[in-house]
Structure 1
Amino acid sequence: MQGFFSKIYISTKSNINIWIGVFIICFAFGCKGVVSNNTKVAESPDETINSKKYNVLFVICDDLNDVVEGMGGSVQAHTPNMSKLAEEGVLFMNAHSNFPICAPSRASLFSGIYPNKSGVMDFIHWKESPVLKDAVSIFDHFKNNGYQVYGTGKLHHFEGDFKNTWIDENGQSTYGEPTSYGPFVYNGETIKTLHPSMAYLANFITDEHAKIASSMETSFGPLSDVPHFDPDIERNIPGFDGWYNGTSKFEYIDERHRDSMPDELSAQWAIKKLQEKHDAPFFLGVGFVRPHTPLFVPKKYFDMFPLENIQLPPYKENDLDDCQDFVNYVRKYGFDRFDLYKRAGGELLWKKFMQAYLASVAFADDQLGKVLDALENSDYADNTIVVFTSDHGFHLGEKDYNFKDTNWEESSRIPLIIAMPNAKQKGKTVNHAVSLIDIYPTLNDLCGISNVPNRHTNQASLDGFSLRPFLENPETDTWSGPDAALIATYGEWVENGKQIVQGEKKAHNFSLRNNRYRYTRYENGAEELYDHDVDPNEWTNIAKDKSQKERIEAFRTQLDGRLKESITIK
C-alpha cells in the first residue's frame, strides 16, 4: 500500500487533475461493475495470497460413489489413475455432496452457495433463483481474474444458460464436447426403451415400475452387445439396427473400430488444450458422464470383473424396519428400481448391475488417466492444481435402493482429491468432514484471487471454507470450517416429481455428517442417527435411544442454526 500512495504523492499537477477527474466519474456513475453468470466484468484481482497464478485442471465424474481404490467402497474397485493422483495429492475420505442429485449439487458446487440458501433444490435454472441469478460461477470468477476458462463434457446442467462463460475475447467458443449420456438403445422412435437383452424386464412391470422400465437408465451391458430392433408395423415404429448417439447412428464394428464415446471425446479435447501454448493461466473443467446410467461401456471393462467373482455390497435384510417413520420421504424411484431388478433377476441381475457399475468406473478412470498423462507431459505439469471429484454418490442395493438422492452415506459420500504442484504433503488422507461447497473458496485461496466473487452483484458470500489447512497438514484440527457437512434432499414426492410441501426449513430432508455421526431430520420431523465408529453401513438407527438425547439436541440446534437463511423457490 505504501508504494501505491507514493505514486500518488509524486504525481505532477496534470496527473492530479486526472485523478480528480476519475474520482468525479466514479462518484457520479459508480465504479461497481455489473456481473452475472453470463457476463464478464473486469474485477480487481486480489494479490493477497499468492503472486503466482496456478493453472487449474478440474475433473468431475457423474454418480461416482466410493467405489474407488483406497476409499473402501468395494475391494474390487479398479481405479489406478485415481490412485496415482491421490499419491500425488491429498484424498479426502469424508467428503460429501451437499445435495446428492445432479443439478442442485452442481449449482451449489459452482456457485459456492448452499442449496437451501439459493433455493435451487430441484432441476431449476440459476436465473429462477433470486440468489443465483446474479451469482458469479467459479468459471466466471476465474475468467474475470485473468484466467482463460475451458470446459468440456458434463459440467453445468442447463449448459445453455452459461454460453457466455465459454466465449473468449475473440468471440470464439472455449467449450468442447456437449453433455451426452450415449450411446443409447434406440428402436427408431425413442431412446426410452429396454435393450433387447433385457426386454424380459417388461414381464415384471407393474404400474409403479412403468417409468423405470421406460427409462434409458434401466438397461446396461457391454458395447459389443449391439442392439437390433425389427420394424413394428402395428405400432408404426420403424426399428433400428445398432447404437444411437442421440442424433444419428453410433458406429460400432468391434472394440477397435467404433465411434468414440462422449467421455472419450472429452478426454481427447482436454488433451489438445493441454498441448496448446497458453499465455495466460487457465482453468480447464472436464466433466465425465460415466458412471451415470445407462451403463454401456466397451467390453474390455466388463472383462475386468468376471461375473462369477462379483461381490455385492454389504446388505442387511429388513434394513428399513427402523426407517418407517420417514421412508416415504425418500425418493421412491430408487426403491422401485432395485425391487424391479430383484424380482426380475434376483441376485444374478444385482451382480450384473454391480459389474456394469464397476466397469463404468474403470472406464472413467481410464479417461482420467489420459488427461493426467497429457498434463504430466505438458509445459504445465509443475504449475497446475488438479482437483478430482464427483457430484454425488450412488446406491448399489444398500437399503434396497438403486439410485442417488437419499440422505444416507452411499448417496452423499464422494471422492475428493486435490493435488498441488510440488506439494510437500503427498499420498495423505484427511478424515475431517468436508463437502463440495468448499472447492470454490479453496481454489480462490490457492490461486490467490478474491474470495468475494459477488461483491459487485448480490453481495452473497461463499458458504464454504478453504481446504488449504488440510493440504498443508492433513491431520490438523485447526480449520475455520464447520465440523459437519450439510446435506439436503427433496421432501415428499408425488407423481410429477414435485415437492408437496415447500416454504419452511423442514420442507426438505437435511443431514449433518461429522467425523463420527450422521444425523438426519426429515420433512415430517422424523430423525436418524448413525454412529459410524460401530455402524459404518448405517444399519442401526439410534436416534430414539435415550443415551443419545443430548447428542440429538446438539444436532438439532446446529441444524436449525445452519438453516436460518433458507429460501424456497415456488
Structure 2
Amino acid sequence: MNINKFIIIFLCIGCSLFSCQKKHQAKQQPKPNVVFIAVDDLNNWVGKMKRHPQVKTPNLDRLIDQGILFNNAHTASPVCQASRIALLSGLKPTTTGWYCNVWDKDLKEVTYDSIHQMNQFLPEYFKANGYATYGAGKLFHSGVMEFEKDADQLWTDHTPAYKITDQEMLKSGNHYGGDMFYPFPKDGGQLYQKFGKVKGLSLCGGPVERKDMKDGVMHDEWVADWAIEKLHKNHDEPFFLGVGFARPHVPYTAPQEYFDLYAEDDFYIPSVAEGEMKDIPLYGKAVSMGLTPGGDHAKVMGVGEDFPKELVRSYLACISFVDAQIGKVLEALEKSPYADNTIVVVWSDHGQHLGEKHSWRKMTLWEPSTNVPLIFKLPNSSAKGKVTNDAVSLLDVYPTLLDLCQLPQNERLEGESLMPILNHPEQSQNRNVLTTWMYNNHSVRSKDWRYIKYRDGGEELYYIQVDPLEKKNLIADEKYSSIKETLKKDLPQKMANPFLMEDIYEDELDNYVAEWEKEGIPEWLN
C-alpha cells in the first residue's frame, strides 16, 4: 500500500475513534442535581430585597450573593394550594380551575388525576427523565403526601406524613388543620384569648419552648434534618431534592432565640395612610376582609393597639427561624460531594400582609401578597450577586429547571424559561405576569406597574416605581389610560370554571358585597 494512503487511513481511523470517545465522554457528563426549597408565606421581607429594614436573613442573603435574585417575582395565585398546584404543574389557575384552597378530602383525592390529564407534576417529570426524586415537608399544600396513592410516581423517597398525636398540643391550637403548623402559643393565641374559638384564630404569635414541640423540634427542623441526611448519602444518579418549610405561615411561633433577634422596641411596622381604602373598588374591599368574622383588621385592632406590633415581631422571628433551617441545608450541600454540580432554587408560594391595605393575610392582589423571593444559584456561574427587576412568575420555574438540566421540553408548560435573564440579568426582558385570586379577579404586574381588575369590573392601577406601597390608585387619572390598556391585554381571554364545578359559584367575596348592600360597608374599610 502506498505509504501516503496508509497514513491517511490511519489518521481517519484515529480521528473517528477520538470523535467516538468524545461523544462517549459527553454522554457521561453528569446532569446537575437540584435542591428545590419551598417556603410557606414568606413575603418580600428578605434582607437583600430591602423591603424591611431590620429583618435578619443572613443565609438567604448569602445565597443571593452567590446567585441571582428575581426581585420582582410573583405567584400565580396568592394562596398555598393554588400557588403550588400552578408551579408544580406548570399550568395557570385559569387553565386548571384551581383558584383557591380545597379542603374537601374527596376533591383532593382526585386532584392528581385531574391535573395529570393536563400535565405531569415537576418531580414526576424529573423522575421520568432519569432523576431520583426526594421530597421533604411542605411541597404540595399538605406536604409530600398530598397524593398518597400516587406518591411512587412522584418520589423515589419522601418524608412520612407529619402527624401530632399529643392531644394537649393539639388543644392549644383548638385542632387547627395542618399538624405541620404547630405549636401554637400555649394559651391558644391572642385572638383566641380575646374572642374565643373563631375562624382565623391562627393569626397569632409568640415564642414557644422545646417541651411544647413534637419530639422537641419544630416541623421545619425535622424537615431540614431529613434533607441533610439525604445530602450525606452517596447517589449514583442525579437527584432532585425538594425541601418544603412551613414557616413563616401562621401561627407565628418559633423558639425564643429568634424572638431575641428583634428585642428592640422601634422596629418598622407597615402603616396605612388615612383614607387609603377610599379609592379601592368594592371587591377589593371584600378581599381585605380576610378570614375572621367581622374582618381581620377589626379583630386585630380589637385585641389591642400593641397587637399589630406583636404580629410583626412574631413574623420576623419566624422568617429568621426558617432562614436558619435553609442555612443548615445549604451548609450540608456545600460540604457534600455535590456542591459543584447542584442547582439551588429557593421560592415562596406567596407573600403575606402585615397590616398593609388593612389586610393581615395573603389572598389579595397587592404587592405584599403576590411578590415573593425567587433565587437561583447555578454551578460555575459567573453571574453572582446579580439582581433583576424584570417581572417574572413562579410558573417560570418549571421550564427553567428543564432547560438548566437539559431535559426534554414539556410543550404543555405555560410559563416562560428564565434562561434569557439568567444569562443576561442586566438586560431587561420587559415581561408582564399574571396573578389570579379566586374566580375572575386578576393582577397584571410589569416592571414598573400593577393593574388589577375584579370580576365586577372594578379596577386599580399603581405606579410601583414611585409608589411601592401602592398607596394611590391611579385608575381614574386619564393620563395613564394608555398604560392601563396595554396591561389589560395580558388579562386571560378564557377561564376554566372553578375546579370540578360545572357552573360558577358564589364565594365569600360575593357574600360580603351582598351583605354590604343591605347593611353598609364597615367603617374601617372606608
TM-score above 0.5: yes
The secondary structure found in structure 2 opposite 1:550 is: helix
Closer, same or farther in 2 for the Cα pair 1:357/1:180, shift >3 Å? farther
Listed one character per residue, the Cα deviations across residues 125-176 of structure 1 (whole Å, up to 9, x for unaligned) are 383588614220000000000000000010012544533665389xx96002
Is residue 558 from structure 1 mapped to residue 490 from structure 2 by the alignment? yes
Q: Which residue of 2 aligns with 1:439?
A: 397
Instruction: After TM superposition, list the pairs within 5 Å mapping 1:7-26 onto structure 2.
Output: none
Q: Which residue of 2 aligns with 1:151?
A: 135
Listed one character per residue, the Cα deviations across residues 246-272 of structure 1 (whole Å, up to 9, x for unaligned) are xxxx36xxxxxxx11110011001001
Q: Which moved more, 1:321-330 or 1:380-389?
A: 321-330
Conservation of the 8 A alpha-carbon contact between 2:190 and 2:205: no
Tell me how far apart the structure 2 counterparts of residues 292 and 49 of structure 1 sit (CA, whole Å): 44
Conservation of the 8 A alpha-carbon contact between 1:139 and 1:165: no
Closer, same or farther in 2 for the Cα pair 1:168/1:174, shift >3 Å? farther
The secondary structure found in structure 2 opposite 1:319 is: coil
Is residue 265 from structure 1 mapped to residue 222 from structure 2 by the alignment? yes
Q: Which residue of 1 aligns with 2:266?
A: 309
Amino acid at match of 1:210: V
Tell me how far apart the structure 1 counterparts of residues 172 and 302 of structure 2 sit (CA, whole Å): 29
Is residue 516 from structure 1 mapped to residue 467 from structure 2 by the alignment? no
Tell me how far apart the structure 2 counterparts of residues 381 and 72 of structure 1 sit (CA, whole Å): 28
> How far 1:467 sits from its partner (Å)?
0.8
Is residue 542 from structure 1 mapped to residue 492 from structure 2 by the alignment? no
Is residue 139 from structure 1 mapped to residue 97 from structure 2 by the alignment? no
- Select 2:175's aligned residue among 164, 169, 191: 191
Closer, same or farther in 2 for the Cα pair 1:476/1:437, shift >3 Å? same
Identity of aligned residues (%): 36
> How far 1:204 sits from its partner (Å)?
5.0
> How far 1:120 sits from its partner (Å)?
1.0
Conservation of the 8 A alpha-carbon contact between 2:71 and 2:387: yes
Q: Which residue of 2 aligns with 1:57?
A: 35
> How far 1:469 sits from its partner (Å)?
1.4
- Select 2:62's aligned residue among 55, 68, 84: 84
The secondary structure found in structure 1 opposite 2:490 is: helix
Is residue 487 from structure 1 mapped to residue 435 from structure 2 by the alignment? yes
Amino acid at match of 2:228: I
The secondary structure found in structure 1 opposite 2:401 is: helix
Q: Which runs of 5+ in 2 are unaligned?
A: 1-25, 103-107, 177-182, 502-526
Amino acid at match of 1:132: I
> How far 1:202 sits from its partner (Å)?
5.3
The secondary structure found in structure 2 opposite 1:210 is: coil
Larger helix percent: 2
The secondary structure found in structure 1 opposite 2:158 is: coil
Tell me how far apart the structure 2 counterparts of residues 280 and 199 of structure 1 sit (CA, whole Å): 47
Q: Which residue of 2 aligns with 1:100?
A: 78
Closer, same or farther in 2 for the Cα pair 1:325/1:462, shift >3 Å? same
Listed one character per residue, the Cα deviations across residues 163-220 of structure 1 (whole Å, up to 9, x for unaligned) are 3665389xx96002535799985448943598465777457539xx9323xx3x1331
Q: Which residue of 1 aligns with 2:460?
A: 528
Tell me how far apart the structure 2 counterparts of residues 182 and 301 of structure 1 sit (CA, whole Å): 26
Tell me how far apart the structure 1 counterparts of residues 384 and 150 of structure 2 sit (CA, whole Å): 33
Tell me how far apart the structure 1 counterparts of residues 173 and 56 of structure 2 sit (CA, whole Å): 37
Listed one character per residue, the Cα deviations across residues 388-416 of structure 1 (whole Å, up to 9, x for unaligned) are 01000000111111000100000000000
Instruction: After TM superposition, list the pairs within 5 Å mapping 1:346-425 onto structure 2.
Output: 346=305, 348-425=306-383
Q: Which residue of 2 aligns with 1:110?
A: 88
Q: RMSD of aligned C-alpha atoms?
A: 2.9
Q: Which residue of 1 aligns with 2:17?
A: none
Is residue 122 from structure 1 mapped to residue 104 from structure 2 by the alignment? no
Tell me how far apart the structure 2 counterparts of residues 296 and 412 of structure 1 sit (CA, whole Å): 23
The secondary structure found in structure 2 opposite 1:304 is: helix
Conservation of the 8 A alpha-carbon contact between 2:353 and 2:362: yes
Tell me how far apart the structure 1 counterparts of residues 392 and 447 of structure 2 sit (CA, whole Å): 9
Conservation of the 8 A alpha-carbon contact between 1:221 and 1:296: yes
Q: Which residue of 2 aligns with 1:9?
A: none
The secondary structure found in structure 1 opposite 2:37 is: strand
Tell me how far apart the structure 2 counterparts of residues 189 and 79 of structure 1 sit (CA, whole Å): 28
The secondary structure found in structure 1 opposite 2:198 is: helix
Q: Which moved more, 1:550-559 or 1:379-388?
A: 550-559
The secondary structure found in structure 1 opposite 2:49 is: coil
Listed one character per residue, the Cα deviations across residues 433-487 of structure 1 (whole Å, up to 9, x for unaligned) are 00100000000000000121xxxxxxx7100111111111111235xxx721100
Tell me how far apart the structure 1 counterparts of residues 126 and 474 of structure 2 sit (CA, whole Å): 45
Tell me how far apart the structure 1 counterparts of residues 137 and 396 of structure 2 sit (CA, whole Å): 22
Listed one character per residue, the Cα deviations across residues 293-314 of structure 1 (whole Å, up to 9, x for unaligned) are 1111100000000151322124
> How far 1:330 sits from its partner (Å)?
1.0
Amino acid at match of 2:493: L
Conservation of the 8 A alpha-carbon contact between 1:488 and 1:511: yes
The secondary structure found in structure 1 opposite 2:468 is: coil
Tell me how far apart the structure 1 counterparts of residues 282 and 300 of structure 2 sit (CA, whole Å): 26
Conservation of the 8 A alpha-carbon contact between 1:126 and 1:133: no
Listed one character per residue, the Cα deviations across residues 404-432 of structure 1 (whole Å, up to 9, x for unaligned) are 01000000000000000010100000110
Tell me how far apart the structure 1 counterparts of residues 134 and 149 of structure 2 sit (CA, whole Å): 12
Conservation of the 8 A alpha-carbon contact between 2:38 and 2:349: yes
Listed one character per residue, the Cα deviations across residues 500-530 of structure 1 (whole Å, up to 9, x for unaligned) are xxxxxxx421010000100000011100000
Tell me how far apart the structure 2 counterparts of residues 89 and 113 of structure 1 sit (CA, whole Å): 26
Q: Which residue of 2 aligns with 1:210?
A: 198
Amino acid at match of 2:412: S
Is residue 341 from structure 1 mapped to residue 324 from structure 2 by the alignment? no
Amino acid at match of 2:477: D
Amino acid at match of 1:433: A
Closer, same or farther in 2 for the Cα pair 1:352/1:49, shift >3 Å? farther
Instruction: After TM superposition, list the pairs within 5 Å mapping 1:174-189 onto structure 2.
Output: 174-179=157-162, 186-187=170-171
- Select 1:167's aligned residue among 152, 156, 174: 152
The secondary structure found in structure 2 opposite 1:330 is: helix
Conservation of the 8 A alpha-carbon contact between 1:82 and 1:365: yes
Amino acid at match of 1:138: L
> How far 1:49 sits from its partner (Å)?
12
Tell me how far apart the structure 2 counterparts of residues 146 and 470 of structure 1 sit (CA, whole Å): 27
**Aligned residue pairs, count:** 459
Tell me how far apart the structure 2 counterparts of residues 474 and 337 of structure 1 sit (CA, whole Å): 40
Closer, same or farther in 2 for the Cα pair 1:376/1:341, shift >3 Å? same
Conservation of the 8 A alpha-carbon contact between 2:288 and 2:358: no
The secondary structure found in structure 1 opposite 2:147 is: helix
